[in-house]
Amino acid sequence: DTEVTQTPKHLVMGMTNKKSLKCEQHMGHRAMYWYKQKAKKPPELMFVYSYEKLSINESVPSRFSPECPNSSLLNLHLHALQPEDSALYLCASSQETGGLYNEQFFGPGTRLTVL
Amino acid sequence: AQSVAQPEDQVNVAEGNPLTVKCTYSVSGNPYLFWYVQYPNRGLQFLLKYITGDNLVKGSYGFEAEFNKSQTSFHLKKPSALVSDSALYFCAVRDRAGRRALTFGSGTRLQVQP
CB-nearest partner of B34 from A43, A48, A103 = A103
Å from B87 to nearest chain A CA? 11
pLDDT surpassing 90 at residue A46: yes
pLDDT surpassing 80 at residue B51: yes
DSSP string, B53-99: S-SEEE-GGG-EEEEETTTTEEEEEESS--GGG-EEEEEEEEETTS-
Range(s) of the domain holding residue B20: 3-113
- Residue B29, pLDDT score: 81
Which is it for strands A10-13 and A110-114: parallel, antiparallel or unpaired? Answer: parallel
In degrees and rounded to multiples of 5, residue B84 shows phi and psi of -70, -10
Spell out which residues of chain B touch residue A104, defining contact as CB-CB under 8 Å: 44, 46, 102
In degrees and rounded to multiples of 5, residue B38 shows phi and psi of -130, 120
Query: CB distance B107–A88 less than 8 Å?
Result: no
- Residue B1, pLDDT score: 76
Task: Indicate the length of chain A as a whole number.
Answer: 115
CB-nearest partner of A103 from B49, B99, B100 = B49
How much is the CA Rg of chain B, to the nearest whole Å?
A: 13
Spell out which residues of chain A touch residue B107, defining contact as CB-CB under 8 Å: 40-42
Å from B16 to nearest chain A CA? 26
**Amino acid (1-letter code) at residue B22:** K
H-helix or E-strand spanning residue A36: strand A31-37
CATH of the domain at B106: 2.60.40.10
Percent of chain A with pLDDT over 70: 95
Number of domain units in chain B: 1
pLDDT in tens, A16-37: 899 999 999 999 999 999 999 9
Average pLDDT over residues B76-98: 91
A61: confidence class by pLDDT, cuts 50, 70, 90: very high
DSSP code, position B25: E
- Residue B80, pLDDT score: 97
Is A98 in a helix, a strand, or coil?
coil
